Amino acid sequence: MSCRSHQPAAALENWTVTYYDRNGDGIVNYELHTRGNGHATDQWALIDSDFNWRYDLRIHWGDVVEKKKIDLPVPKHVTITPGTPPNFNSA
């Protein structure tokens, strides 16, 4: 027997994903997920910190900043937002 919380589907649909290219090579290396009002506790990011086309870090901004090592390919054929991503300096 186990316990699992249930999130309504509507809550999952409120996430916005924005892609950034921090080194200007045309390849995504920062993926920001923001929910609803955009407060820092409602944001997390996937980051390719060594620019090798693979995400290697997941950061969640909450009461404390949580960092976790990952290994995922960066997406292709997505719209890249110009400029520096929000929360970039706290990553």
Farthest CA pair distance, the chain:
50
Q: How many domains does the chain have?
A: 1
Residue scoring higher pLDDT (55 or 40): 55
| Residue 5 counted as domain residue | no
In this structure, what token pair is assigned to residue 12?
A: 């999952």
Mean pLDDT score of the chain? 83
- pLDDT of 3 above 50: no
Q: How confident is the model at residue 37, as a pLDDT?
A: 64
β-pair partners for 54: 73
Tell whether 7 is covered by a domain. no
Give the Cβ contact number of residue 52 at 10 Å.
11
Range of the domain at 35: 13-83
Q: Is the residue at 70 inside a domain? A: yes
pLDDT at residue 53, as a whole number? 97
For the chain, percent of residues with pLDDT exceeding 90: 58
Is residue 74 scored above 50 in pLDDT?
Answer: yes
Amino acid letter, 12 = L
d(CA 68, CA 87): 16
